[in-house]
Amino acid sequence: MSATLTITGLTRWYPATGAPTLDAIDLTVPAGGCVALLGPSGSGKSTALRLVAGLDTPDSGTVLIDGRSLAGIPPELRHTVLVFQSPRLFPHLNVLDNVAFPLLVAGSPRGQARDDAAQFLDLVGLTSLAHRRPATLSGGQEQRVALARALAARPDVLLLDEPFSALDPTVRAEMHTLLVELRAAVEPTILLVTHDQNEAAVLADTTAVLLDGRIAQHDRIDQLYARPVSLAVHGFLGGRNAVAGRVDDGAHHSRLGTLELPADVVVPRGPATLVVRQEAIRLVPTDRRADLLGVVSAVTARGARALVEVTVAGMSLTTESGPGERFEPGDRVGVVLPLDQRHAVPPATSMRSGESGSSRDVLRRATT
């Protein structure tokens, strides 16, 4: 029941807007795989799903399932089931009949459709609620039924549009566990749209970052963090440290001085921005070996950890304190930038309008 989804050059341009909502997207989801399409709201994620499902028509580009083009095929014949953030269980049908719906419309006799549906309901652990009305379910239960109903359609590709973002954090975590189990059990091909990095991290094999209608980067989530291709991706993923300078001889030169770059970071000589994740920076006593020396300027509590701002050579770097570490403004500290966590991005690969902005500006723009 799973197939390979291939999207090439997919473009959608609504007449009223100044720029394409989706601009020549290329994406492949291997059979049985799960790719997350991660982006801020308005980035075109949902449009992409609608185009795959056939609820909207692309201006150009193709959607292929196992190499077969879906152009001109109506949604009901595509075998691509779309699950929305709102579960949209049919209020006039009980839980079991909701799950049996795709089987009935596919032509199964009612009894067989219900028997079949009961198995999918069992898969999401809701057998006991089979005869309840959707209105009596909790949000998490509703979304479980929606998943069971979607799987009952035996889709070639399962399209999930922010399916868990309306749920409480604990329920959301349960749903994540459920989806991991479902993947193991029935191996559907999944294209998951989300704006939640953690969700992408937990659920997807790979993640494609969609910014302003384009796929900025498609890679494993750890690579996206450590090796963003642009300041925009770095900023979107929450990276706070971006230091303008230039690269020469495998090192980055800036007001912070000369910092060696790891061997796998290949940046052409010339202007480049040094990016280091705040989680990667360590603060040490001044008597220990450090890459830089600085003074703590601000401390913001963040649960178990704290965000610590350190001023180095007149610039501000953001770090996260480790468990048990305490810092006060005015503390002098050594700053360690582990070599393998350093990364540089050339200015040309940042976003259309983000070349000169700091990463924080990019972040703000991306989220508003």
Partner 1 sequence: MTALVTPAPHGRSGRRVLRARVEARAAKWGRRAGTVAVTALLLVPFLPILLWAFADRWPYPELAPTVWGVGGWLTATAQGAWPALTRSLLLGLTVSAIATPLGAMAGRALARGRVPYGKMVTALLLAPVAVPPFAVTMGLTTVALRLGVPGVVALVAVLVVAAVPYTTYIMRAAYAGYDEGFEETARTLGAGSRHVLLRVHLPLVAPALAAAAFLAFLVGWSDYVVTLLIGAGRIVSLPLLLGASASASGNDPTIAVLALLATIPPVLLLTAVTVLSRRRTQR
Residue 158 or 242 with smaller CB distance to partner 1: 158
- Helix, strand, coil fractions of the chain, as percent rounded to 5: 30, 30, 40
CB of 188 to partner 1, least distance (A): 14
Report the alpha-carbon distance of residue 224 to residue 178 in Å, rounded: 25
Report the alpha-carbon distance of residue 121 to residue 131 in Å, rounded: 11
Evaluated on CA atoms 184, 185, 191, 192, the torsion sign reads negative
Report the alpha-carbon distance of residue 32 to residue 2 in Å, rounded: 6
Residue 80 or 350 with smaller CB distance to partner 1: 80
Residue 110 or 288 with smaller CB distance to partner 1: 110
What is the rounded (10 degree) CA torsion for 238, 143, 214, 75?
180
Single-letter amino acid, residue 287: D
Residue 84 or 327 with smaller CB distance to partner 1: 84
CB of 85 to partner 1, least distance (A): 10
Report the alpha-carbon distance of residue 154 to residue 165 in Å, rounded: 24
Interacting residues with partner 1 (CB under 8 A): 53-55, 74-82, 84, 86, 88, 90-92, 94, 101-102, 104-106, 133, 135, 149-150, 153, 159
CB of 158 to partner 1, least distance (A): 10
CB of 36 to partner 1, least distance (A): 19
First to last CA, the chain: 39
CB of 92 to partner 1, least distance (A): 4
Single-letter amino acid, residue 153: A
Residue 162 or 291 with smaller CB distance to partner 1: 162
CB of 133 to partner 1, least distance (A): 6
Residue 192 or 215 with smaller CB distance to partner 1: 192
